[in-house]
Chain A
């Protein structure tokens, strides 16, 4: 075995030039636009709802076909268009149900070809009537049928598809329908009903994906609530394992002679940095509290929360207080942001000078100060105040656009433990 130096060391220095993986890569992996796990994460119900709505829409459109049957010069063509559309709806609903995760490209292509056929047949059937808005049925329903693949294809794919259908309808209307003011409203309505449901569905699904991402970030961070006073981060054991493995490889290559002694300067310096890192991880690995890990591991908190906790006092908080403090930071960041502004929250934890009230002799007081820029006091809602109250007794003050909270928090005396 020849020794190959590791690509990056665990102190965050990149040796190979590749960017260091973000801590929350897990979150991104779970919520990426096209991962199979996404439907498993609860957006699946949107797919079922979409199938129901599309079916209702199809029944509504079919009723119109029946009502207007006598007015069609060639009703069979319109009927064939409907048969194709129903086949597409049934086929797509079934395959979306069976396939977990992303719809394969060829299936999506087949689906689009089906829709194009429907639009073409229906437009051809109503062409001699010169009033597409009033007589087209399946062509309008076809636009809404895109809702079926909302959860299994990327938003951009669907936007492109729905735009193509919309533009095709507009062009057909411009070419086919004689311009008259009285004719205009049904045409506009028809195009709107073909395009808007899918656009609204896209807005829904993107908001839902954001919700899933935020919620996932939050539950991942909440796992720190039960951590011991000093904890290693999620990556620590991985880092140690990697260092151990790197050391093992190096030592092995020395032992079996594939690395010649005395060592080349480059390998010698690798050995030195390995030793340094190992030493740091073994001796200094446990200096950070749960709060530090929670903030650094979270996508959302990491961007806007800073922490000053020289005495690592956050570790003394019990799980209820931790939950309150984390929720407070969380609500400040997610809830009170005004459009376009970026909140910043600073948390300072320091020993308190206040004497502990009689009856709490076994407790010590610590002072938690939360300063939040870009938050106005009237945007802090009841649930945030509840969360703050779980940490301890608080006073709040406002200056300019920042809110300052001073929380007096009673914790078990570490000397007694």
Chain B
């Protein structure tokens, strides 16, 4: 699926590396060459003046080789270079040692370094061969009166072969490097999936987090209103649950002090679980009276959502109603399990409560919605509050 663009990207990265390397190498030797040529007496001043524009052209083109993979930036350098070699060889009176050095630096080093970008495709290799023949031929014949052809050719061959080898070496090494990096990418994908699974496991432990959140909320109010012993016992229970979660189990609190560590329970009896909710609120000073069906089987995700919503409502009663007892009535029919939470507390004007605040919308409505249920809220100031929660069976 991703094979083609991947190959393309690899080739691109490889070419960019080759181009940058060729640019640095050819430009630095070009500089050495022009310095040698500028030594007084290297060539006649007139020859030097003719050569300098050609050097400038080569500098611009060799710089551009670093930016573009187009061959149009490569070939003109060779032509300008050949021009410079001919000019040096034909300078009146012949070049001195410095002039010969300049020609050698140009032909065997600066132009040779362009071979680095001419190794990747067949066309480029052919161009490489043609350029070498052209540059070497010019240099050997033009400099023959001043320098033995064998020496010229040896230097040329050394420079061109070396930089072609560097080109081949890089272009075979980079794909290897990129393949190794790709294997790191695969490992990373596995890590991401593991992270996702772990996050799901922790988020999935909702019942556990619900009791932890309730306890933390109590602690946030400095534990006021609850006896210190009850607070400590509840904290200890919750800390133990969290430790089990951390160690890899998915604990489901059922009855206080007795935890079900086996995850595969797909359906749980509502009654025993409700008992733990009742006990927890009992410790915090809210007496929950229990009416109706106690033996309803629910899928665990529905049960989780149902209990979380129920506990959230009871927490609201405890904190806002001003009374110390609440009634929960559970009824069921063929399709629905319904809980009605009533208190005879202060109540409130529905419109006064921003539905986004209080956490009611997020923690009650949203959770029930996820499992296909719903919540309705009835209240008037002075006559208590009733919440009806419904989940499908």
Chain B residues with Cβ below 8 Å from A182 are 41, 96-98
Which residue of chain A has the shortest Cβ distance to B39 in the bound complex?
A184
Residue A386 is within 8 A (CB to CB) of chain B in the complex: yes
Alpha-carbon gap, A237 to B245, bound state (A): 13
Give which listed residue, B8, B9, B232, contacts A261 with CB less than 8 A.
B232
Residue A13 is within 8 A (CB to CB) of chain B in the complex: no
Which residue of chain B has the shortest Cβ distance to A236 in the bound complex?
B199
Residue A113 is within 8 A (CB to CB) of chain B in the complex: no
Chain B residues with Cβ below 8 Å from A241 are 198, 202, 246
Give which listed residue, A237, A254, A323, contacts B196 with CB less than 8 A.
A237
Give which listed residue, A220, A248, A282, contacts B185 with CB less than 8 A.
A220
Cβ A320 vs Cβ B1 within 8 A: yes
Instruction: Report B332 CB to chain A, min CB distance, Å.
Output: 27
Residue B380 is within 8 A (CB to CB) of chain A in the complex: no
Cβ A212 vs Cβ B177 within 8 A: yes
Residue A265 is within 8 A (CB to CB) of chain B in the complex: yes
Chain A residues with Cβ below 8 Å from B137 are none
Residue A128 is within 8 A (CB to CB) of chain B in the complex: no
Give the segment of A89-97, A98-106, A203-211, A359-367 that binds chain B: A203-211
Cβ B101 vs Cβ A386 within 8 A: no
Residue A224 is within 8 A (CB to CB) of chain B in the complex: yes
Chain A residues with Cβ below 8 Å from B36 are 184-185, 188-189
Our count of residue pairs bridging A and B at CB distance below 8 angstroms stands at 258
Instruction: Report A51 CB to chain B, min CB distance, Å.
Output: 11
Restricting to B167-226, which residues have a CB under 8 Å from any CB of A? 169-170, 172-174, 176-178, 180-182, 184-185, 188-189, 191-192, 195-196, 198-199, 202-203, 206, 209, 212-213, 215-217, 219-224
Chain A residues with Cβ below 8 Å from B363 are 279, 283
Secondary structure dominating the interface of B = helix
Cβ B32 vs Cβ A196 within 8 A: yes
Which residue of chain A has the shortest Cβ distance to B35 in the bound complex?
A188
Residue A403 is within 8 A (CB to CB) of chain B in the complex: no
Instruction: Report B391 CB to chain A, min CB distance, Å.
Output: 18
Residue B16 is within 8 A (CB to CB) of chain A in the complex: yes
Alpha-carbon gap, A52 to B41, bound state (A): 38
Cβ B188 vs Cβ A219 within 8 A: yes
Chain A residues with Cβ below 8 Å from B199 are 232, 236-237, 240, 285
Given contacts A49-B166, A204-B21, A271-B220, contact A188 B5 (CB under 8 A): no
Give which listed residue, A215, A272, A283, A323, contacts B5 with CB less than 8 A.
A323
Chain B residues with Cβ below 8 Å from A208 are 17, 174, 177
Residue B51 is within 8 A (CB to CB) of chain A in the complex: no
Chain A residues with Cβ below 8 Å from B62 are none
21 contacts between A and B (CB under 8 A): A45-B172, A45-B173, A49-B170, A182-B97, A185-B100, A185-B101, A192-B105, A196-B25, A207-B20, A218-B9, A219-B184, A228-B196, A232-B195, A232-B199, A236-B195, A244-B245, A245-B242, A251-B219, A278-B212, A278-B216, A283-B362
